[in-house]
């Protein structure tokens, strides 16, 4: 996630880090070359593009912008729902840490490490990295590489530990019920995140918008070259930057759990949970919160 202050005039004019420009500059370059070619042809053969009017492009541009805004809004809803789910995860983990604070140190440590292993596994699962390895940092025997859902296995282990504590008389049934409620919330968060990660925006819908935007930006210079000359580059590149930028931004927001600059900072939120859980233990070194690198918080 990009973490920067409100952009100044200098940032607006020259900032590249944190902008969408690095992802779309090849397409902008292609549109600029097409625009230059159309202007050269129009100057060499005056009137060759007279039959191409600008009115159809105005109507198409308005329709395209409406549909692209709808797609970006859909992608943002996915991003925001992912952030809400991880917010609920942080709250549930804080509540769990508070509710196990009266248990003996050995039991408290095992449960806290289990929750940290669950969060590490969930982050790795959503980002497509080694899930079992992430869990083993907290629970060496908590999950096997062949397990189809190691993160859920770790959560099941935490639940079984709570149940065994109740059966041993070290946890009363009401306290067990409260802890089980928090574990259920963790399972619900995992299910919600997996639903978002496993249900992308329909490919045909995104493909339709991308094709339309490319064709629109490639043909627009021919409608303007005859009347605007070299000024054609300005409106064409501005329109292309807007359409391609919105498309690239929507693509990043579509998968809120990835490593793109505008994705959610799962590593930072996971570190927040680890700090909360380790802070409830005695003699544990609490790691510092993650800081942004070059304005991006991972």
pLDDT of residue 206 exceeding 90:
no
pLDDT value for 51: 75
Query: What is the mean pLDDT of the segment spanning 67-81?
Result: 91
Residue 297 lies in a domain: no
Q: What is the mean pLDDT of residues 38-46?
A: 90
Segments forming the whole domain that contains residue 135: 25-279
Q: Is residue 247 part of a domain?
A: yes
Grade residue 146 by pLDDT with cuts at 50, 70 and 90. low
Confidence of residue 298 (pLDDT cuts 50, 70, 90): confident
Which pLDDT score is estimated for 46? 85
C-beta atoms surrounding 160 within 10 Å:
11
In the predicted structure, residue 160 carries a pLDDT above the cut 90: yes
Mean pLDDT of all residues belonging to the chain: 89
The answer to whether residue 184 scores a pLDDT higher than 90 is: yes
Is the residue at 17 inside a domain?
Answer: no
Mean pLDDT of 241-267: 91
Residue 217 lies in a domain: yes
Q: How many angstroms separate the CA atoms of 298 and 295, rounded?
A: 10
Yes or no: say if 209 and 67 are a contact pair by the CB < 8 Å rule: yes
User: In the prediction, which pLDDT does 18 show?
Assistant: 66
Within-domain flag for 218:
yes
Could you count the other beta carbons within 10 Å of the beta carbon of residue 254? Answer: 21
The pTM for the full model equals 0.90
Q: How confident is the model at residue 26 (pLDDT cuts 50, 70, 90)?
A: very high
Q: In this structure, is residue 49 part of a structural domain?
A: yes
Task: Check: CB of residue 277 under 8 Å from CB of residue 93.
Answer: yes
Q: Is residue 2 part of a domain?
A: no
Average pLDDT over residues 219-232: 90
Per DSSP, the three-state class of 293 is strand
Q: At residue 296, what are phi and psi to the nearest 5 degrees?
A: -120, 125
Instruction: Give how many domains the chain has, as a whole number.
Output: 1
Which pLDDT score is estimated for 139? Answer: 87
Q: Is 2 helix (H, G, I), strand (E, B) or coil?
A: strand
Position with higher pLDDT, 145 vs 271: 271
pLDDT for res 283: 76
- Decide if 256 is inside a domain: yes
Please, which pLDDT band fits residue 123 given cuts at 50, 70 and 90? Answer: very high
Question: Comparing 4 with 47, which gets the higher pLDDT?
Answer: 47
- Assess contact for 270 and 89: CB atoms under 8 A: no
Residues in the chain: 298
The residues with which 293 forms a beta bridge, in sequence order, are: 296
What is the reported pLDDT for 110?
93
């Amino acid at each position: 996630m990009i973490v920067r202050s409100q952009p100044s005039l200098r940032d607006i004019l020259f900032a590249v880090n944190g902008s969408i420009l690095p992802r779309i500059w090849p397409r902008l370059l292609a549109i600029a070359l097409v625009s230059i070619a159309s202007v050269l042809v129009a100057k060499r053969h005056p009137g060759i593009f007279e039959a191409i009017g600008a009115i159809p492009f105005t109507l198409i541009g308005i329709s395209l912008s409406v549909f692209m805004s709808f797609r970006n809004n859909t992608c943002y809803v996915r991003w925001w729902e992912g952030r809400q789910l991880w917010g609920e995860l942080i709250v549930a983990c804080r509540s769990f840490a508070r509710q196990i604070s009266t248990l003996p140190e050995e039991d408290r440590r095992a449960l806290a490490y289990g929750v940290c292993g669950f969060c590490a596994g969930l982050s790795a699962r959503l980002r497509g990295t080694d899930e079992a390895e992430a869990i083993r940092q907290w629970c060496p025997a908590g999950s096997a590489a062949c397990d189809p859902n190691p993160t859920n296995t770790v959560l099941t282990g935490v639940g079984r530990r709570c149940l065994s504590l109740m059966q041993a008389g070290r946890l009363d049934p009401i306290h067990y019920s409260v802890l089980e409620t928090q574990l259920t919330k963790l399972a619900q968060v995992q299910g919600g995140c997996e639903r978002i990660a496993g249900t992308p925006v329909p490919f045909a819908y995104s493909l339709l918008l991308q094709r339309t935007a490319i064709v629109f930006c490639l043909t627009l210079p021919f409608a303007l070259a005859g009347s605007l000359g070299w000024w054609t580059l300005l409106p064409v590149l501005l329109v292309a930057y807007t359409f391609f930028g919105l498309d690239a931004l929507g693509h990043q927001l579509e998968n809120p759990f990835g490593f793109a600059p505008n994705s959610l900072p799962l590593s930072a939120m996971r570190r927040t949970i680890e700090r909360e859980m380790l802070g409830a233990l005695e003699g544990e070194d609490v790691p510092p919160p993650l800081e942004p690198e070059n304005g991006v918080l991972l």
